[in-house]
Structure 1
Amino acid sequence: MAGKKALSCTAGAVLSLSLLLSGCMAGSQTDKASGDKSKSNLEEKVVIYSPHGKDILQEFEKKFEEKNPDVDVEWLDIGSQEVLDRVRSEKKNPQADVWWGAPSVMFNQAKGEGLLEPYKPTYAKALNEEFHDKDWAWSGTSQTPEVIMYNSKKLSKDEAPKDWDDLLDPQWKDKIIIRYPLASGTMNTIFSAMIYRDYKDSKDPQKGYEWLQKLDANTKEYSANPEIMYSKVAKGEGAVSVWDMPDVVMLKEEKNYPFDFVIPESGTPVLTEGIALVKNAKHPKAAKAFYEFVNSKEANKILAEKHYRIPTRTDIDNLPKWIEDTKIKPMDIDWKVFESKSNGWMEYWDNNIKSKEKEQKE
């Protein structure tokens, strides 16, 4: 089949209008060779919602279909908060089968709303307790430390901010470009962590809000998507951002972006990225097969070596040196507090702190 797109825009009879519109904007997948078997004859398909980007999604589509030739993989590449919102809105008529990629906090929110189908994978014994839901509503696929990212052509390692509070220094005014937090699980977590640092003792978010107000004063732009943020920092329109370490390493090593990172000295949130089955999904058999494949030993090696993901499984050997050498000081976080408070905190930020003129539209 030629010209297949991520969630093809011709599928309007099946997909909701909002999904159709997003599907139209999603990047085209690699065209299939003309000799491929017609997808209309396939026994099964599996629909993936994921923020992992087209590079990973295209690769895993290809590898999974090679092992499962009677299954057609379709995917939609959107931010993790957008996935949660979409799965929530589609609860009565699910369009996705698998949700791959989001902080555990979001999966816990989805579990609480009855959006996920519990599934205990065959590799369960290789996951420590902190890397899966107690009822197996989700399981962890990778660990994601959050870092301060900077343009290495504009700043040396010594000149870059060393810790979160350094970002508030007046020298960084209009030099910080940040991904719009409300659409991003990564940014939602970083901002919530800045509030939580004081909230854990005071039970009052006010000092955290004041911190975010000062950061806003130094922020040049809230980019609508990660690609815009990457491009503008790479071009030197901004010198600093905050993001997740695996993506920064990937962009530096694979795409030659002038990026490097600093692990904040005081500690950083370390997210558990996960995968889950959508409740009442239309293709449960294929969904479980994809779920298993994504966290197989083979897939973990691919994700570690090619896409700079740190595995959650304890039985993955011969990991890249950068993973073995990385020393992280995890921030002490009560993730249940995040689950109950972060949405309200981010709503307050959006309504009362964010400078409206700094929001970048696509």
Structure 2
Amino acid sequence: MKKVFSVGISILLSAVVAVGCSSGSESKMVSSTSSPAATSAPKSDTPKGKLTIYVGFQEDHAIEAMKQFKKDTGIDADMIRMSGGEILAKIRAEKENPQADIWYGGPADTFVQGMGESLLQPYKSPVAEKFDEKYKDPDGNWTGIYVGALGFVSNKKFLKEHNLRAPEQWADLLSPGFKGQVVMANPGSSGTAYTALYTSLKVMGSEDKGFDYLKRLHPQVQQYTTSGSAPGRMVGMGEAAVGILFASDIIKLQEEGFDSLQLTIPKDGAGYEVGAIAMIKNSKNQELAKKFIDWSLSPSAQEVGQRKGSYQNLTNPEAKQPPKGVNFKELNLINYNTAEAGKERKRLIDKWNAEVNK
């Protein structure tokens, strides 16, 4: 097998988080209990226990969320950052003895697969009653916390030097000028990449036509990374010409100073994720886990990421949307069926490995 790029997931990071004060795919733990300030909440009001949270979105956003959660509730929490597919695999491996309580972030179709494997504990948060039905599972297995559209990111210098235009539709990625210059994640490890896989099937009109497209795209691909956001940084560093990832991650990189990046969103159909949260089945801290879910769905919790350059659209109708985020009303969104995408996830990834990435 060729073109597999893996980012290590074995790094363990302890961070000191003071109360009141994207990211690769590596596992990183952040604790909210190391600092003397973490005990500032009145002891009589501090719930007993400690949460462990597997996080599937940008690390700096997640660290900020852990700090704010501790400040708002007095509840201690450790977080470990991984890609969506890695979280699913870890929860599956720990099924008989769960080591975490919450799965926080990443495309909901990965949660749907976990739900089908009886890995999630249903919980209908009262906060979610006002949410659009498409942003939550009707039985409470998962609830959406943000929404993000897929986009293409191009290196402006490469485009200029090779007299190329930034891709504006999926077929543009097949241009001879992009041969060996496209980078995307592996759908087996990355929820971002699976969103792209499922989207391409819908845009092309059928599964057969979609896989024919993916087979033609394969020679264009330089690397399949583990992390869904890694392609954006690679394009920004000039290591590749074009990447496929979520638009919010591209905007974040642009804001961080990668002026060489150009964002385009496919006009012939943009897929999108509903980033979700769920309780892990047989969590040892279910009451605390419910408190975290309730908190995560509140407007203030969803807005936390904007302090760290998070540009996803938010699911709580009372939350303030990021001013530099993508306007979904201006996009040609596909009919992304989260339930179907989740149920078909394993089969489609197996088929991709057998027919495309062989």
TM-score, with length taken from structure 1: 0.82
1:167 matched residue in structure 2: 173
- Does the CA contact (< 8 Å) of 1:177 and 1:222 recur in 2? yes
Q: Name which of structure 1's ranges 340-349 and 320-329 shifts more when overlaid on structure 2.
A: 320-329
Q: How many residues align?
A: 330
1:313 matched residue in structure 2: 316
CA distance in 2, matches of 1:37, 1:309: 29
- Does the CA contact (< 8 Å) of 2:32 and 2:38 recur in 1? no
Q: Name which of structure 1's ranges 323-332 and 102-111 shifts more when overlaid on structure 2.
A: 323-332
Taking a change above 3 Å as real, the CA distance of residues 164 and 92 of structure 1, as seen in their structure-2 partners, is same
Structure 1 residues 1-362: aligned runs within 5 Å: 6=13, 26-27=27-28, 29=30, 35-36=36-37, 43-69=48-74, 71-155=75-159, 159-198=165-204, 200=206, 205-226=207-228, 228-256=230-258, 258-304=260-306, 306-317=309-320, 319-320=322-323, 322-324=325-327, 327-354=330-357
Q: How many Å apart are 1:324 and its aligned residue? A: 4.9
Q: How many Å apart are 1:209 and its aligned residue? A: 2.0
Q: How many Å apart are 1:317 and its aligned residue? A: 4.2
Secondary structure, in 3 states, of the residue corresponding to 2:234?
helix
- Does the CA contact (< 8 Å) of 1:192 and 1:346 recur in 2? no
Taking a change above 3 Å as real, the CA distance of residues 322 and 105 of structure 1, as seen in their structure-2 partners, is closer
Q: How many Å apart are 1:113 and its aligned residue? A: 2.1
Q: How many Å apart are 1:280 and its aligned residue? A: 1.1
CA offsets, 1:98-129, max 9 Å, x none? Answer: 00112222222222222211112232232011
Q: How many Å apart are 1:55 and its aligned residue? A: 0.5
- Does the CA contact (< 8 Å) of 1:126 and 1:315 recur in 2? no
CA distance in 1, matches of 2:91, 2:274: 20
- Does the CA contact (< 8 Å) of 1:145 and 1:271 recur in 2? yes
CA distance in 2, matches of 1:192, 1:37: 43
Secondary structure, in 3 states, of the residue corresponding to 2:305?
helix
CA distance in 2, matches of 1:318, 1:177: 29
Q: How many Å apart are 1:239 and its aligned residue? A: 1.1
Taking a change above 3 Å as real, the CA distance of residues 35 and 47 of structure 1, as seen in their structure-2 partners, is closer
- Does the CA contact (< 8 Å) of 2:151 and 2:264 recur in 1? yes
CA offsets, 1:20-57, max 9 Å, x none? Answer: xxx9x634648977644689x98311111112132012
CA distance in 1, matches of 2:32, 2:303: 26
The alignment's C-alpha RMSD in Å is: 2.9
Secondary structure, in 3 states, of the residue corresponding to 1:171?
helix
Unaligned runs of 5+ in 1: 9-22, 356-362
2:21 matched residue in structure 1: none
Secondary structure, in 3 states, of the residue corresponding to 1:181?
coil
Secondary structure, in 3 states, of the residue corresponding to 1:301?
helix
Q: How many Å apart are 1:255 and its aligned residue? A: 4.7
CA distance in 1, matches of 2:288, 2:213: 46
Letter in 1 for 2:235: V
Identical amino acids, percent of aligned pairs: 26
CA distance in 1, matches of 2:79, 2:267: 38
1:360 matched residue in structure 2: none
Letter in 1 for 2:216: K
CA distance in 2, matches of 1:234, 1:26: 23
Unaligned runs of 5+ in 2: 1-11, 16-24
Taking a change above 3 Å as real, the CA distance of residues 169 and 116 of structure 1, as seen in their structure-2 partners, is same
- Does the CA contact (< 8 Å) of 2:83 and 2:226 recur in 1? no
